[in-house]
């Protein structure tokens, strides 16, 4: 009645129009969503909202996943669209996106050139199978990727994520859970103007050959990267945010250890990728017989022990391992080669829920050693990567053999489970040299390090200790040269080694809030396909006929009520 009386006034319609206009303007300014999903599927993390709020320029995103898609990829496309819509609402107008189909309307020759250019910048094509009907299937090449552009720079984003052995539905669900992290990571990297300094230590036989080609390229593309000579340089934690020590072959001197020690106590972060024993597959091929893996004598055991870990003098094997081409017999005069699991190449995974390794595919290791944690007051220890459930440790003298499993009895010795290989240490560390130096010796330390000797840390630091250096090296082949990190020769699959390394560095020196978005995990609630097929007609009738019947019943009831009311009047 009040609305009717308002409309009867002279300027009632004007007041009503002004009210609705103000309501529309207000709703455009206030962004509110109610996420009722258990895993908060449609909610952005605080770090994402902060990243979008701080954008200073326009971000352009082209999503290449469009066109005719199978049901699973349509779901991934819709999830991407919903996420980017949410991003746009928090970006103060700085984020724009659109869906484009690569090569649409182009001649085939130009389209193929475009596809080649996309592959060269890291965008992977995918053969999508479409179920046209119960009997017929067609295939279509799609690009489940996006391109993020900013100020003339461009970063590809692979929308697909997965773990080896996953089916397509699980892979797409897993991919959906990591969309926020992937777009956050790309936006963070493309808008950053000052990159942390990451140094690669040299002077103790660390590789400077093609086996670290992918490592160096990865570091150059994501950080301010350079080489650091431990023998002659001074480590400054204010300048060098992280130090990588990868596969040293020569013993560390006490002066070098003091430099590393005092750098850590200043708050510097160190990644140790150490091969404690000498064990290489090339040695097996050269000698064509067994050999004994020996300790390299790197002289860092006491230092790592003080910080809270011990790399054991053993070789870790696991039945869940990568494959190697091995001779399994002879046919006439020709050797028969077959790719079989090689237990010296365990596939590592995350035993604990940590953002560095959570939702990560398996990581390839090569002749790793196990790592134990030891008592270190005030230091938090987290196992980032460990073996699977069927492992064993070969103690020194460890005999390396092409045929390390020869009988059923050998299989029964794989009784260890979740053996640590990579450990994260966090806290204020104590010096290995505390209470060991005289005043004169402490003064000499200052000449080495550039700062007065510190017996304990003044700032929190982080260290990642890995009992395998080959996690971050790459295979070099005669035909293809250096392969990507985590890729085996003849194996058309790349494990998550590079992603693991980048996650480690992001946690040590990057935006850890963005890394936390890796913790999202969506529950896959699947329909029973057999029941769906059996009850297809029934549910089609329910969805089509039931709404019509309800509307007709409502119309009959309303008509009856109106007739009854006016009859009584």
Query: Tens digits of per-residue pLDDT, 261-289?
Result: 999 999 999 999 999 999 887 766 666 66
Condensed to tens digits (0 to 9), the pLDDT of residues 378-400 reads 999 999 999 999 999 998 887 78
b/e sequence 187-202, b meaning 16+ C-beta within 10 Å: bbbebeeeebbbbbbb
In this prediction, residue 368 carries a pLDDT of: 96
- Give the pLDDT confidence score for residue 291 in this predicted structure: 78
pLDDT of res. 378: 93
Q: pLDDT tens, 432-491?
A: 998 887 777 777 788 888 888 899 998 999 999 999 999 999 999 888 899 999 998 877
Cβ-Cβ contacts under 8 Å for 243 (sequence gap 6 or more):
198, 199, 201, 228, 235, 260, 263, 268, 269, 270, 271
- The stretch 369-374 carries a mean pLDDT of 96
**Cβ-based neighbours of 525, under 8 Å, separated by 6 or more:** none
**pLDDT confidence tier of residue 187, bands split at 50, 70 and 90:** very high
Q: Which residue has the higher pLDDT, 418 or 45?
A: 418
Unique residue bearing structure tokens 């009040």: 2
User: Using 50, 70 and 90 to split pLDDT, how confident is the model at 422?
Assistant: very high
Q: What average pLDDT is seen over the chain? A: 85
- pLDDT of 318 > 80? The answer is yes
SS3 559: helix
Measured distance CA(243)–CA(246) in Å, rounded? 10
pLDDT more than 90, % of the chain: 48
pLDDT digits (tens, 9 = 90+) for 81-103: 999 999 999 999 999 999 999 88
Give the pLDDT score at 16: 66
pLDDT in tens, 154-182: 999 999 886 666 677 777 877 888 899 99
463 phi and psi, to 5 degrees?
A: -135, 145
Instruction: Kindly list the distances between the CA atom of residue 380 and the CA atoms of 81, 199, 462, in Å, as whole numbers in the listed order.
Output: 40, 24, 10
Q: In this predicted model, what pLDDT tens digit does every residue of 330-352 receive, in sequence order?
A: 666 666 667 788 899 999 999 98
CA 163/CA 493 separation, integer angstroms:
11
pLDDT of 136 > 70? The answer is no
What pLDDT shows up at residue 310? 97
- Does the structure show a pLDDT above 90 at 495? yes
Point out which residues pair with 381 in neighbouring strands.
425
pLDDT value of residue 383: 97
Residues 122, 479: Cα–Cα separation, whole Å: 21
The DSSP line for 58-108 is -EEEEE---SS--HHHHHHHHHHHHHHHHHHHHTTT-EEEEE--TTTT--H
Residues 356-361, mean pLDDT to the nearest whole number: 88
Flag whether pLDDT at 204 surpasses 70.
yes
Q: Where residue 412 falls among pLDDT bands split at 50, 70, 90?
A: confident
Q: How confident is the model at residue 545 (pLDDT cuts 50, 70, 90)?
A: confident
- For residue range 17-51, list pLDDT tens digits in order: 777 677 777 766 665 555 555 555 667 888 899 99
Higher pLDDT, 168 or 201: 201
pLDDT bucket at 567, cuts 50 / 70 / 90: low
Average the pLDDT over 205-219 and give the result: 95
pLDDT at 223 over 90: yes
């Amino acid at each position: 009645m009040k609305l009717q009386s308002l409309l009867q006034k002279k300027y009632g319609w004007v007041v009503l129009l002004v009210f609705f206009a103000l309501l529309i303007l207000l709703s455009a300014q206030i962004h509110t969503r109610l996420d009722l999903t258990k895993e908060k599927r449609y909610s952005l993390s605080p770090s994402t909202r902060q990243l979008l709020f701080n954008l200073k320029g326009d971000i352009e995103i082209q999503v290449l996943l469009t066109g005719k898609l199978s049901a699973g990829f349509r779901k991934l496309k819709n999830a991407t669209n919903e996420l980017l819509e949410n991003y746009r609402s928090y970006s103060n107008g700085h984020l724009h996106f659109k869906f484009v189909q690569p090569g649409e309307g182009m001649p085939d020759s130009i389209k193929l050139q475009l596809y080649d250019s996309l592959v060269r910048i890291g965008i992977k094509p995918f053969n999508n199978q479409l179920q046209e009907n119960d009997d017929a299937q067609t295939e279509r090449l799609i690009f489940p990727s996006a391109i993020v552009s900013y100020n003339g720079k461009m970063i590809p984003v692979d929308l697909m994520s997965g773990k080896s052995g996953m089916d397509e539905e699980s892979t797409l669900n897993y991919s959906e859970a990591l969309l926020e992290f992937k777009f956050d990571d790309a936006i963070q990297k493309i808008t950053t103007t000052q990159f942390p300094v990451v140094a690669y230590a040299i002077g103790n036989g660390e590789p400077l050959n093609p086996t670290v080609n992918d490592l160096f390229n990865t570091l150059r593309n994501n950080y301010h990267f350079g080489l650091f000579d431990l023998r002659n340089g001074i480590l400054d934690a204010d300048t060098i945010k992280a130090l990588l020590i990868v596969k040293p072959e020569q013993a560390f001197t006490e002066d070098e250890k003091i430099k590393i020690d005092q750098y850590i106590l200043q708050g510097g972060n160190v990644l140790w990728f150490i091969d404690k024993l000498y064990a290489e597959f090339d040695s097996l091929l050269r000698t064509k017989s067994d050999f004994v893996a020996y300790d390299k004598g790197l002289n860092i055991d006491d230092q790592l022990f003080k910080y809270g870990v011990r790399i054991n003098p053993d070789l870790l094997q696991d039945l869940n391992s990568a494959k190697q081409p091995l001779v399994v017999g002879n046919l006439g005069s020709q050797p028969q080669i077959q790719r079989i699991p090689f237990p010296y190449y365990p596939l590592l995974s995350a035993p604990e829920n940590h953002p560095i390794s959570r939702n990560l595919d398996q990581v390839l290791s090569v002749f790793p050693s196990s790592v134990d944690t030891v008592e270190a007051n005030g230091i938090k220890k987290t196992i980032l990567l460990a073996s699977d459930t069927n492992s064993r440790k070969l103690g020194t003298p460890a005999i390396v053999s092409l045929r390390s499993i020869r009988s059923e009895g050998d299989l029964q010795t794989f009784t260890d489970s979740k053996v640590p290989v990579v450990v994260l240490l966090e806290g204020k560390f104590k010096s290995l040299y505390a209470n060991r130096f005289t005043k004169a010796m402490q003064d000499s330390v200052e000449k080495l390090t550039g700062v007065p000797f510190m017996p304990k840390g003044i700032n929190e630091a982080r260290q990642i200790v890995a009992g395998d250096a080959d996690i971050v090296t790459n295979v070099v082949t005669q035909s293809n040269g250096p392969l990507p990190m985590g890729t085996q020769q003849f194996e058309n699959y790349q494990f998550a080694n590079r992603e693991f390394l980048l996650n480690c560095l992001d946690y040590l020196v990057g935006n850890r809030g963005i890394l936390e978005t890796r913790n999202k995990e969506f529950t896959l609630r699947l329909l029973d396909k057999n029941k769906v097929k059996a009850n297809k007609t029934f549910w089609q009738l329910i969805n089509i006929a039931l709404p019509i019947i309800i509307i007709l019943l409502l119309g009959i009831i309303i008509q009856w009520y109106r007739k009854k009311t006016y009859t009584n009047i």
